[in-house]
């Protein structure tokens, strides 16, 4: 309801330039990136459910702060709220990934993450569509505060309904089932040992680097795309909201088909195909935007192609870190992956802002932004023949 529109608030309400918006969004992301690995370490030691619920409550408060700051026109409050929300998400993300991984292995794990992603995008679809409409009636501030209130209620519901994972039960109970006793005996290691294990896993680190590069391209979706569509193509908020909602709808109805189709194939194959489609969607958007009568076709063609690529790329990004991790290091591996892979997404707004500020040709804008896809694909191909078939199989 509010996150995809923050860059438009900075541009249209506070009159901040493209390049400056990119820098501000990068500054917001630095602290959450630094915290994410520790979120994984904490989830392995304090428990998945406890860390997730605490973080979600913190995020609710941060979003309310964003809404109140928008009402007061305080850039500092918006930035602080964004940082706090990012910190909460960085701690919650590894805990959620580890929570899901606790329940399933192999192809079942891929399907479990598929349903998590579908659930998220069901909320995303309703949220971005509703946000695009509400901004026209309530303004950015009212929409932000409504979003925060929804997070407060959902946190309370999850507190009542969400059960501990098997790993949580194993760490909390003294009388354990055999499989839970095994979990308790296996971890976690000391923090120093966890860092040593991570630093020595070359293939995992290469996967993180490839994800960083593909994230540098995909990260343009959340900031550069709304700025380009609204301020350069002059598409109104409500149509932008529909375009963003289409992304979520394609995930809801298409992720199951994509995951089932890819089951038995390689994670690295899915990553290559997804990244290639990111690049194709960028070129299509830039090309079709050259024709004034084709801007709506450009916008919706971009969303469809990019989302199919996202559906493919989400399978390895959500599952492969857990597949590569020792059982006692699920949280730490997901935390480090979220950090290193998230660097690309954090740098993306800065790159996009600089390109928008210096280049007027739409095709050149999006061709430049597609360049990181090429080295990412090369790294995924190199990795595909080197990690174990069991870990690499969807």
DSSP secondary structure letter of residue 231: I
Phi, psi dihedrals of residue 393, rounded to the nearest 5°: -85, 130
pLDDT, tens digit, 9 for 90 and up, residues 189-211: 677 888 888 888 999 999 999 99
Residue 169 has pLDDT above 90, yes or no: no
The pLDDT value recorded for residue 269 is: 96
This prediction has a pTM of: 0.74
Phi, psi dihedrals of residue 170, rounded to the nearest 5°: -65, -35
Question: Residue 193, exposed/middle/buried by CB under 10 A (0-12, 13-18, 19+)?
Answer: middle
pLDDT, tens digit, 9 for 90 and up, residues 133-147: 899 889 999 999 999
Question: Residue 143, exposed/middle/buried by CB under 10 A (0-12, 13-18, 19+)?
Answer: buried
pLDDT, tens digit, 9 for 90 and up, residues 280-306: 999 999 999 998 777 999 999 999 999
Classify domain 3-392 by CATH number. 1.20.1250.20
E-strand ranges in the chain read none
Domain ranges of the chain: 3-392
Phi, psi dihedrals of residue 189, rounded to the nearest 5°: -75, 175
């Amino acid at each position: 309801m509010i996150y995809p529109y923050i860059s438009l608030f900075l541009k249209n309400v506070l009159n901040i330039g493209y390049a400056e918006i990119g820098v501000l969004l990068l500054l917001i992301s630095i602290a959450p990136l630094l915290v994410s690995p520790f979120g994984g370490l904490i989830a392995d030691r304090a428990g998945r459910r406890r860390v997730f619920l605490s973080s979600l409550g913190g995020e609710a408060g941060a979003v309310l702060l964003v809404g109140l700051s928008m009402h007061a026109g305080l850039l500092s409050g918006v930035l602080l709220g964004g940082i706090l929300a990012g910190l909460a998400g960085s701690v919650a993300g590894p805990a959620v990934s580890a929570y899901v991984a606790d329940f399933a292995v192999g192809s079942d794990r891929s399907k479990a993450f598929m349903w998590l992603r579908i659930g998220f995008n069901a909320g995303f679809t309703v949220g971005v569509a509703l946000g695009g409409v509400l901004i026209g009636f309530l303004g950015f501030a009212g929409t932000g505060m409504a979003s925060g209130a929804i997070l407060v209620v959902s946190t309370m519901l999850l507190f009542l309904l969400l059960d501990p994972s098997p790993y949580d039960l194993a760490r909390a109970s003294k009388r354990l089932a055999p499989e839970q006793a095994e979990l308790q005996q296996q971890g976690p290691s000391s923090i120093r040992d966890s860092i040593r294990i991570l630093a020595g896993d070359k293939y995992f680190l290469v996967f993180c680097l490839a994800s960083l590069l593909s994230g540098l391209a995909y990260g343009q979706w959340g900031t550069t795309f709304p700025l380009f569509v609204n301020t350069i193509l002059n598409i109104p908020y409500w149509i932008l909201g529909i375009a963003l909602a289409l992304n979520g709808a394609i995930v809801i109805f298409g992720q199951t088909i994509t995951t089932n189709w890819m089951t038995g194939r390689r994670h690295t194959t899915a990553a290559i195909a997804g990244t290639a489609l990111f690049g194709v969607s960028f070129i299509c958007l830039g090309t079709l935007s050259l024709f004034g009568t084709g801007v709506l076709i450009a916008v919706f063609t971009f969303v469809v192609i990019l989302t199919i690529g996202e559906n493919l790329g989400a399978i390895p990004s959500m599952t492969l870190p857990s597949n590569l991790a020792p059982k006692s290091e699920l949280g730490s591996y997901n935390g480090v992956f979220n950090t290193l892979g998230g660097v690309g997404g954090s740098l993306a707004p800065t790159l996009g802002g600089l390109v928008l500020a210096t280049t007027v040709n739409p095709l050149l804008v999006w061709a430049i932004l597609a360049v990181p896809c090429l080295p990412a694909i090369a790294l995924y191909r190199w990795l595909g023949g080197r990690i174990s078939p069991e870990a690499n199989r969807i």
